[in-house]
Amino acid sequence: MIGDYTPDELALIRRAIAPAPPKPPEEVIEAMRPAPGMPVPSHMPPFWKLSDLAMPLFLRLSADPAVKAISRYAFFPQVYQRLLAGQSLPQLEFSGRARGMVGILRYDDLAIVIKPLQSSREGQIARTAGELTVGPGQLESLPGYLTEEFSPGTFFTELPQELLTDDFLAGVGSTVGTMLRRLHQADIYYNDVTFSDPRGRSHLLVEENGSCRLIDFGISMMLDRHPDLDLEEVHNFVRTLPMYRVFRGMAEDQAHVDRFLAEYAEKLAATSKSEIISRDLTFAQQGLNMAARRMGERIIAPVQEGFTQAYTALG
């Protein structure tokens, strides 16, 4: 039972699961099978570090109904506190590709998202974006993970035609313009798809009343230290350049990639912040054009108008 772990045991469990450990070695996987040839219980691999240090605790976990149902998520503060308070288990579903497992946990009255950090400054960026009401509000989490509010709404590219009046579209454009401006004023370069990528995937959730949130700050950059950028930040910048994909395909080895990044770091240091940030505007325009292929060319003008007005109005 969740309430049965002592504070020391809880701390031990949390240290074992967060940040997420590397994949367990083969012999540990074998030892997790209830009997030879039987499958490994899927709720247990996240706790594998304990099988080494604290076998009795590991065995208690494997029989805990909450752990059986939602595995490591039971020990994240937002979930753990609710379980202790006697609330029933949330429904758990998974999403996400680039960053690995994105867990969506649904209660009757709220939903939260728990996802691994994708960069070392994502936590700080997501927190600022949440405070600016541009991104999902951030909640207490464990090291190596974000815990955030689930943003309701429909991805921009999936909005039903009947909602797409000129007024509605201009409103969305204006909201996105305001959101990007606020990020930029906070020295955050979003650096990702807003309206749509070539496959129609979006990071912009829109509600019927027109309110919007951007999700996923995994490759965003905080430019407060510019022109000093570390290689991770340079990598985040270049990975959204089409030429980088070509280069990665041809690169001889990691050293070759690192040399390229070091050279690119110099280029970025010599580029002004406003020039870096302006790429978000290019992405927004390109994304809008891609969205229009699915949604109809007539969406472009009203969104663009709303966007430009709002972005420039915030000066």
Ligand X SMILES: Nc1ncnc2c1ncn2[C@@H]1O[C@H](COP(=O)(O)OP(=O)(O)OP(=O)(O)O)[C@@H](O)[C@H]1O
Interface residues with Mg ion (CB under 5 A) are: 216
Sign of CA dihedral 40, 46, 52, 53: negative
Of the pair 51, 151, the CB lying nearest Mg ion is at 151
Residue 13 binding result from ligand X, Mg ion, none, given CB thresholds of 5 to 8 Å by partner type: none
Size of the site for ligand X (CB under 6 A): 15
Beta bridge partners of 205: 155, 213
* Helices marked H in the chain: 7-17, 26-32, 48-53, 55-63, 65-70, 77-84, 122-131, 166-185, 231-238, 242-250, 254-269, 273-295, 300-313
Residue 95 binding result from ligand X, Mg ion, none, given CB thresholds of 5 to 8 Å by partner type: ligand X
Q: Tell me, residue by residue from 249 to 288, as one string, x for binding to ligand X by CB under 6 A and - for no binding.
A: ----------------------------------------
Of the pair 51, 194, the CB lying nearest ligand X is at 194
Order the strands of the 212-214 sheet from edge to edge: 154-155, 204-206, 212-214
- Stretch in the footprint of ligand X (CB under 6 A) among 53-61, 124-132, 212-220, 225-233: 212-220
Q: How far is the CB of 108 from ligand X (least distance, A)?
A: 17
Q: How far is the CB of 133 from ligand X (least distance, A)?
A: 13
What 3-state class would DSSP assign to 249?
A: helix
Q: Which of 36, 37, 56, 97 binds ligand X (CB under 6 A)?
A: 97
Residue 99 binding result from ligand X, Mg ion, none, given CB thresholds of 5 to 8 Å by partner type: ligand X
Q: How far is CA 136 from CA 73, 133, 152, 256, 264, in A?
A: 19, 7, 10, 37, 32
Contact 67, 61 (CB under 8 A): yes
Which residue's entry shows tokens 């949330």? 90
Of the pair 139, 251, the CB lying nearest ligand X is at 139
Q: Which of residues 105-144 bind ligand X (CB under 6 A)?
A: 113, 115, 136
Is position 95 an interface residue for ligand X (rule: CB under 6 A)? yes
How far apart are the C-alpha atoms of 225 and 18, rounded to whole Å? 28
Contact 170, 299 (CB under 8 A): no
Of the pair 148, 216, the CB lying nearest Mg ion is at 216
Of the pair 49, 192, the CB lying nearest Mg ion is at 192
**Sites of contact with ligand X (CB under 6 A):** 95-99, 102, 113, 115, 136, 148, 150-151, 215-216, 218
